[in-house]
């Protein structure tokens, strides 16, 4: 069978000439156990780390975290580093995504505003 006759990804065979499948050729995994593992580690966070975690879920910077919690930016950065370590994620973006999902589960799909009411 020549390259022109090789079935494409939608015909059930590998793509032309490469013999490789693209990531989009495979169905998405039904469930990601690593996600459950990260979510299971959220309760390991201290009360103060949870305060920071909730702000990360809303996209807050270290400066915003510091101002909201009346701490220094250096302390905010240290809390973020601890959160990344405890959750075993690589970036504050990943921590923020986990925080967003955590809050969605915790508040029945509602998200609390970044600003507190007086």
Per-residue model confidence as pLDDT tens digits over 17-49: 555 655 555 555 555 678 889 999 999 999 999
d(CA 96, CA 114): 13
- Helical ranges in 7-61 per DSSP H: 33-41, 47-57
The residues, any chain, with a CB within 8 Å of residue 42's CB and separated by 6 or more, are 53, 87, 98, 102
51-93 pLDDT, tens digit each: 999 999 999 999 999 999 999 999 999 999 999 999 999 999 9
Nearest to 69 by CA among 82, 56, 85, 83: 56
**Is the alpha carbon torsion for 36, 41, 47, 52 positive or negative?**
negative
């Amino acid at each position: 069978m020549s390259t022109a006759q090789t079935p494409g990804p939608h015909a059930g065979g590998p793509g032309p000439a490469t013999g490789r499948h693209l990531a989009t050729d495979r169905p998405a995994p039904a469930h990601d156990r690593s996600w459950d593992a990260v979510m299971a580690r959220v309760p390991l966070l201290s009360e103060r780390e949870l305060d920071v975690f909730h702000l990360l879920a809303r996209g807050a910077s270290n400066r915003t975290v510091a101002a909201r919690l009346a701490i220094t930016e250096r302390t905010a950065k240290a809390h973020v580093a601890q959160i990344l370590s405890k959750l075993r994620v690589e970036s504050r973006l990943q921590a923020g995504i986990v925080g967003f999902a955590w809050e969605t589960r915790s508040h029945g799909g509602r998200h609390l505003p970044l600003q507190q009411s007086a």
